[in-house]
Amino acid sequence: MTASPIQVRPDLSKAHAFDRFWRGTGFSPGELLLTPEMQRTLKLLSATPCQGVEYLRPHFLLNLVSKKATGYDFSLLEEAVDVMVDNHFVPFFEIMGNPSDAFDFRGTDWAPAWRDLVAEMIQRFAIRYGEDELRRWYFESWNEPDLPWWTSGEAAFLVYYDACVAGLDAALPGLKVGGPGTARTLSPMFKAFVAHCDAGENRLTGERPRCDFISVHEKGVEKSYEDIAPDSVGICRREWQAIDYLRQYHPSLAGLPIINNECDPQVGWWQHHTWRATAYKPAIIAKIIDQHQRLMADRGAPMGMLFNDNGFMGEWGQRTQFTLFGGRSVSKAQSEHETDLKRVDELRRTDPFSLVKKPSLSVMDMLAQLGDTRVPVPDLTPDEDGPGAIATQDKSGNWAVLLYHSRDAVRVSGSVKINLELPDTQSLWDVLVLALNDVDDNPFAVWELTDLPRPPRSPKLTAPSVVLDAMRRAAEPRQHLRQRCQDVINLDIEMPLPSAALVLAAPASDIPPPPPVAKLDEIDGLNGPEWFVSWDEGSAFGVRFDVALADGENGEPVPVLDSPILASAFVLSAVADKRVMVRSVALSGMASDWVEAVCV
């Protein structure tokens, strides 16, 4: 017997404003920003459309500052922050690190000097990046002061926070600041921090401690080399514990946005779990985001932001957005982290490397398409059986719906049929469905089919260009349907477990889109030059892009993928005597002329 399809019926009567609250990532340590691998990572990451990944939260940035006989040397810190800002990221700036180990936070009288350090840093940033830019940033206290990243105890942490705020306010009053970024639910450090912000006094200014947001870290499950199941609902449950605690004991703080800026399915970024390289990861990312809307925001929580702390560099099974081929071997960068500024020149050099995108980043390309009005979908029970939906419209009424099928279990299979009907879609509509699942393919599966040497036999991943290119194609969402619908949009969509699918729908149009402005950058790959092809995404809803190679001057462009690309860049190995061509494709399938991507 075939089960009847799961009905997905967005309810327009419940539509409300929707904020894309998941646009952050992080990594450690900050000095990775000086490496060619991280600089390439950010260049590729910034091609997530519509600033789909906007905030970057590195640890230990202040270890890049050196104390000199007179004053501080900020040059390495500024170089690192330039890398973020030049790639259009907004720093979520943890005031974390100890310049030349000059501060003994267990001692006395260090607070005015810390305030002055922060103030000087902010004054320099204001000159370098401008005041308006700085007002977009978030400033946060030391990462996870309830774990051994902070060893000086609660009292010193509160003084440290006061000195941070005093320094920020001395330089540029009103910058956004908060904390405590704690790792443990309702830990004594969390309680001490919120009590101080509620009823304490800034030790340096005598004012009430300023706090614009509360940050906590809640993840799906503790670290383990076993593929144990995360408890995704547990993330929201524990965030509610923090909110309930504030409501009960510190109501004056209970309205502050709650930010979970390390909202990962599992602790331990460095441990290898192959599910991090398959469709399991994009599906659970989509589910956790939807849970934050349904179980937090819809129930009155002051939802701030949600970050996946997946900006690290590493291999298939590690918590990263790309798989690193070649380059330097990455270790437990954070736990073993000790900054050695004498080795900075070594950081700037590396062996040849290539990056291959993971499906966990492709789902950010999908999420980025969602509109600013959410249309709730009643009667789904994704937290019990897996299939869920985030349905949205934009201001013009165009639909973007993200469907997902995810369970909190790594080793389950199966498939469901979803029947999606969009309301109020009379007359003609163009519809496109793109999907990520392991049945179509995934880059890790392409890799597994090879007999290339892999760890522990080889300390670094390596692959010929043809395999790198095949893996990159397999990372992109696949086109499942492109169709013109008359009077009603009613679609049956097969959703294997795990998977994510994006449905885009707009009133039909036969006008071809204008060609994109396309660029080509030659970058150094593992096996020689690679092409980073990028284009201006424009603002027309549903218009996406094809990349093709053409022989010589007059050859016909041959697309490298049979699906339009959601991101605003694609990487491929350079091929002699070929030209790279790009075109825009509207939802109707109407395409612009091809344009050549040229080096500028």
What is the binding site for ligand 8U8 (CB under 6 A)?
28, 59, 143-144, 147, 183, 222-223, 262, 264, 267-269, 309, 334
Query: With respect to ligand 8U8, which residue has the nearer C-beta, 29 or 557?
Result: 29
Least separation in angstroms between residue 552's CB and ligand 8U8 is: 48
Query: With respect to ligand 8U8, which residue has the nearer C-beta, 319 or 405?
Result: 319
Least separation in angstroms between residue 141's CB and ligand 8U8 is: 13
Query: With respect to ligand 8U8, which residue has the nearer C-beta, 66 or 152?
Result: 152
Mark residue 490 as left, alpha or beta (left: phi above 0; alpha: psi -120 to 50; beta: remaining): beta
Least separation in angstroms between residue 266's CB and ligand 8U8 is: 7
CB neighbourhood size of 529 (10 A): 13
Least separation in angstroms between residue 46's CB and ligand 8U8 is: 21
Mark residue 424 as left, alpha or beta (left: phi above 0; alpha: psi -120 to 50; beta: remaining): left
From CA 596, how far away is CA 592, in angstroms rounded? 12
Query: With respect to ligand 8U8, which residue has the nearer C-beta, 216 or 253?
Result: 216
Least separation in angstroms between residue 480's CB and ligand 8U8 is: 33
Token pair for 121: 């840093």
Query: With respect to ligand 8U8, which residue has the nearer C-beta, 319 or 473?
Result: 319
Point out the residue whose Cβ comes nearest to ligand 8U8: 269
From CA 257, how far away is CA 261, in angstroms rounded? 12
The one-letter code for the residue type at 45 is L
Query: HSE-up of 504 (CA within 13 Å, CB side)?
Result: 25
From CA 47, how far away is CA 54, in angstroms rounded? 11
Is-contact 305 24, C-beta < 8 A?
A: yes
Of 208, 142, 218, 206, give the one whose Cα is nearest residue 179: 142
Query: With respect to ligand 8U8, which residue has the nearer C-beta, 224 or 486?
Result: 224
CB neighbourhood size of 315 (10 A): 20
Least separation in angstroms between residue 164's CB and ligand 8U8 is: 18
Least separation in angstroms between residue 334's CB and ligand 8U8 is: 5
Of 193, 205, 120, give the one whose Cα is nearest residue 161: 193
Query: With respect to ligand 8U8, which residue has the nearer C-beta, 262 or 408?
Result: 262
Extended strands (E) in 97-143: 138-140
Query: With respect to ligand 8U8, which residue has the nearer C-beta, 98 or 123?
Result: 98
From CA 412, how far away is CA 390, in angstroms rounded? 23
Least separation in angstroms between residue 307's CB and ligand 8U8 is: 10
Name residues whose C-beta falls within 8 Å of residue 137's C-beta, 6 or more positions apart in sequence: 90, 91, 92, 93, 175, 176
